[in-house]
Amino acid sequence: MNDAELNKKVGEFLALKKISKQIEADLENVKKELKKELTKRKTDIVVGESWRIDWKTVNRLKLDEKMLEEDIGDLSPYKKIIPTKYFYVKEI
């Protein structure tokens, strides 16, 4: 891919990313409206003809690292760095 093609492809990517952000914002607004309706109905499940909404509290187990460090000391020997590669395109 030459530089002209790369510039065109990056422009396409950035345009689609802008559209995607708007769609995400629209989805979030609709999600808030749906949650508001479930709250109004005082329920956490609504079933339609071809869909179902579940909005329930889920318990998740998580270690309290701060408390653990206070009890047993430094946790750094038990931590490991996991390399992660990020792809980011920024409009300048």
What would the two tokens of residue 3 be?
A: 């530089």
- Residue 88 covered by a domain: no
User: Which residues neighbour 40 within 8 Å (Cβ) at sequence distance 6 or greater?
Assistant: none
Query: Which pTM value belongs to this model?
Result: 0.68
Residue 56 contacts residue 44 (beta carbons within 8 Å): yes
- Residue 53 covered by a domain: yes
What would the two tokens of residue 86 be?
A: 């990020």
pLDDT tens readout for residues 66-91: 999 999 999 999 999 999 988 777 76
In this structure, how many other beta carbons lie within 10 angstroms of the beta carbon of residue 9?
Answer: 11
pLDDT of residue 19: 98
Q: Which residues pair with 47 in a beta bridge?
A: 52
Residue 75 contacts residue 68 (beta carbons within 8 Å): yes
pLDDT at 92 over 80: no
- Residue 37 covered by a domain: yes
- Residue 39 covered by a domain: yes
pLDDT of residue 54: 93
User: Which residues neighbour 52 within 8 Å (Cβ) at sequence distance 6 or greater?
Assistant: 45, 46
pLDDT tens readout for residues 16-37: 999 999 999 999 999 999 999 9
- Residue 87 covered by a domain: no
Query: Which residue range(s) make up the domain with 27?
Result: 3-78
Instruction: Count how many domains the chain has.
Output: 1
- Residue 22 covered by a domain: yes
- Residue 61 covered by a domain: yes
pLDDT of residue 87: 78
